[in-house]
């Protein structure tokens, strides 16, 4: 009796010990996955990755803006009301007084000539999904023709 | 100067506690832990910071309020300085956020000033800097944002041992260091901090508290 149970305990212990690296590995893997999800967006070149690379340094990772310097894109009515001006703003920049979320901004946003029309489209669809109207059609090529 | 005194204090505290036998088992480790927390990590003084350089170069720039800024402004002050430009798309917006944290931490400390140089004076005129400072909502007397002849500004960056140069391929057209430099009251460089890393800037804010004491 005692023998059996003690040997089964030993067996159990052995099995747990054997499984430990797997458990640890799984934990590390999950933690790594979580950390990665927080810092590096899933796919390079995706809308969220492009936003993180080209927009968030000013507008904030969550589009929250900064003081009266960088407007909060999460609260911009352009996304829902006037998305056709977005490609022009992204490519050629923006200056002069604007009102976002009831606050006045009067700064200079530099244009970004490195982004292709496809990349601009992915950034816009990322912003629309988070803060705007995701059902709006996005026609970057056409909209770019009308830049002032 | 301050370290030996603290160490001495810690030694005495431990000695006394070890005489109280009933609580030795629990109290002593606790006391050790306590003294470690209290003195162990926080006994740095300004003497622990090597002198990394001396600011001997003269300068004369103009700030966002169109006032002339020379070394006289920083006489008997500790200051933090950096190089940026208002339309920089990459690291400057992050540096600005971090410098704003420093600003908030030293806003009410008369002995500490901030000095940001634009490396793009052609675009960043006094009016542009004023508008940028207004967007941040900062006070000129505490945080000077200066412009001037570009070669003078580049020479000053070099004097602080920071890189700043024109570079067509870089986003925005310039390559420059993202460091914040800590300069003490004797115009000696006492620290470099990565102005894009919030933990490095946490350290800068802590170190400023040491240097601002007369």
Which positions of B make up the binding site for Cu cation? 88, 92, 176
Chains A, B: CB pairs < 8 Å: 40
pLDDT tens digits along B3-23: 333 333 333 333 333 343 444
> B172 touching A, CB under 8 A?
yes
Q: Cβ-count burial of B125 within 10 angstroms (0-12 exposed, 13-18 middle, 19+ buried)?
A: middle
CB B43 within 8 A of CB B6: yes
Residues A27 and A49 in one domain: no
| B171–A67 CB contact, under 8 Å | no
Residues B22 and B94 in one domain: no
For residue A71, what are the CA distances in angstroms to A127, B127, B171? Answer: 14, 20, 21
Q: Provide the phi-psi class of A50: left if phi over 0, else alpha when psi is between -120 and 50, else beta.
A: alpha
> B18 touching A, CB under 8 A?
no
Q: Identify the pLDDT of residue B170.
A: 82
State which residues of chain A have pLDDT below 50.
1-41
Say which residue the tokens 């968030």 belong to.
A56
pLDDT band at B108 (very low <50, low <70, confident <90, very high): very high
CB B99 within 8 A of CB B200: no
Residues A90 and A75 in one domain: yes
Number of domains in chain A: 2
> B96 touching A, CB under 8 A?
yes
Residues A88 and A29 in one domain: no
Nearest CA in chain A to B91: A57
| B172–A54 CB contact, under 8 Å | no
Whole-model pTM: value is 0.78
Q: Identify the pLDDT of residue A54.
A: 96
Which positions of B make up the binding site? 88, 92, 176
Residues B15 and B115 in one domain: no
Burial A49-76 (b: 16+ CB within 10 A, else e): bbbbbbbbbbbbeebebbebbbbbbbeb
Percent residues over pLDDT 70 in chain B: 80
For residue B53, what are the CA distances in angstroms to A130, B50, B98, B195? Answer: 48, 9, 24, 19
Residues B60 and B153 in one domain: yes
Angle formed by the axes of helices B24-35 and B2-19, nearest 10°: 170
Domain that holds residue A134: 42-146
Interface test with B, best of A67, A70, A73, A105 (most B CBs within 10 A): A67
Q: Please list every residue in chain B whose beta carbon sits closer than 8 Å to the beta carbon of residue A56.
A: none
Q: Identify the pLDDT of residue A114.
A: 92
> Tell me, what CATH number does B110's domain have?
3.40.30.10
Residues B54 and B38 in one domain: no
Q: Please list every residue in chain A whose beta carbon sits closer than 8 Å to the beta carbon of residue B139.
A: none
Interface test with A, best of B89, B101, B171 (most A CBs within 10 A): B89
Q: Which two tokens stand for residue A134?
A: 């995701």
Burial B14-39 (b: 16+ CB within 10 A, else e): eeebeeeeeeeeeeeeebeeebeeee
Instruction: Give B38's DSSP letter.
Output: I
> A99 touching B, CB under 8 A?
no
**CA B191, CA B162: separation in Å to the nearest integer?**
12
Q: B26 versus B80: which is more confidently predicted?
A: B80
What does the pLDDT average to over B143-150?
Answer: 98
Angle at the Cα of A27 from the Cα atoms of A23 and A32, rounded to 5 degrees: 145
Q: Identify the pLDDT of residue B74.
A: 98
Say which residue the tokens 């940001």 belong to.
B116
3-state class (DSSP) for residue B90:
coil
Residues A23 and A88 in one domain: no
Q: Please list every residue in chain A whose beta carbon sits closer than 8 Å to the beta carbon of residue B88.
A: 110
Residues B30 and B82 in one domain: no
Residues B22 and B121 in one domain: no
Please say whether the dihedral angle defined by the alpha carbons of residues B12, B18, B22 and B25, taken in this order, is positive or negative. positive
> A68 touching B, CB under 8 A?
yes
Domain that holds residue B142: 48-211
Residues A51 and A73 in one domain: yes
Among the partner-chain residues B86, B90, B136, the one whose CB lies closest to the CB of A57 is B90
> B32 touching A, CB under 8 A?
no
Among the partner-chain residues A69, A110, A112, the one whose CB lies closest to the CB of B135 is A69
Q: B3 versus B125: which is more confidently predicted?
A: B125
Q: B90 versus B192: which is more confidently predicted?
A: B192
**CA B82, CA B177: separation in Å to the nearest integer?**
8
Residues B39 and B59 in one domain: no
pLDDT tens digits along A84-114: 999 999 999 999 999 999 999 999 999 999 9
Residues B181 and B122 in one domain: yes
Residues B113 and B29 in one domain: no
Residues A86 and A113 in one domain: yes
Instruction: Give A66's DSSP letter.
Output: B
Instruction: Give B50's DSSP letter.
Output: -
Q: Identify the pLDDT of residue B3.
A: 38
> B101 touching A, CB under 8 A?
no
Residues B105 and B203 in one domain: yes
Residues A16 and A75 in one domain: no
Nearest CA in chain B to A94: B87
């Amino acid at each position: 009796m005692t023998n059996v149970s003690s040997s089964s305990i030993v067996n159990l212990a052995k099995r747990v010990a054997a499984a430990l690296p797997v458990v640890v590995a799984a934990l590390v893997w999950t933690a790594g996955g979580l950390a990665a999800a927080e810092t590096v967006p899933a796919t390079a070149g995706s809308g969220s990755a492009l936003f993180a690379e080209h927009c968030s340094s000013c507008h904030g990772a969550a589009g929250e803006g900064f003081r009266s310097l960088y407007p909060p894109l999460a609260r911009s009515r352009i996304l829902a009301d006037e998305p056709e001006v977005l490609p022009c703003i992204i490519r050629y920049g923006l200056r002069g007084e604007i009102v976002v979320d009831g606050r006045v901004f009067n700064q200079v946003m530099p244009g970004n000539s490195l982004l292709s029309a496809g990349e601009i489209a992915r950034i816009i669809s990322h912003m629309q999904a988070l803060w705007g109207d995701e059902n709006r059609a996005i026609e970057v090529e056409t909209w770019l023709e009308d830049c002032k | 100067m301050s370290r030996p005194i603290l160490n001495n204090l810690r030694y005495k505290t431990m000695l006394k506690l070890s005489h109280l036998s009933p609580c030795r088992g629990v109290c002593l480790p606790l006391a050790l832990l306590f003294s470690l927390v209290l003195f162990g990590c926080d006994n740095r003084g300004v003497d622990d910071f090597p002198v990394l350089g001396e600011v001997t170069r003269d300068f004369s720039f103009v700030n966002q309020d169109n006032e002339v800024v020379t070394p006289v402004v920083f006489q008997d002050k500790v200051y933090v300085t950096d190089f940026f430009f208002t339309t920089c798309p990459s690291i400057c917006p992050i540096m600005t956020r971090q410098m704003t944290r420093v600003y908030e931490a030293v806003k009410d400390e008369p002995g500490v000033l901030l000095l940001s140089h634009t490396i793009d004076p052609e675009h960043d005129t006094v009016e542009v800097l004023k508008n940028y400072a207004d967007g941040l909502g900062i006070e000129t007397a505490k945080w000077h944002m200066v412009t001037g002849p570009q070669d003078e500004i580049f020479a000053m960056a070099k004097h602080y041992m920071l890189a700043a140069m024109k570079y067509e391929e870089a986003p925005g057209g310039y390559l420059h260091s993202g460091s914040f430099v800590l300069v003490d009251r004797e115009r000696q460089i006492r620290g470099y901090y990565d102005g894009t890393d919030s933990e490095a800037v946490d350290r800068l804010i802590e170190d400023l508290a040491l240097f601002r004491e007369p």
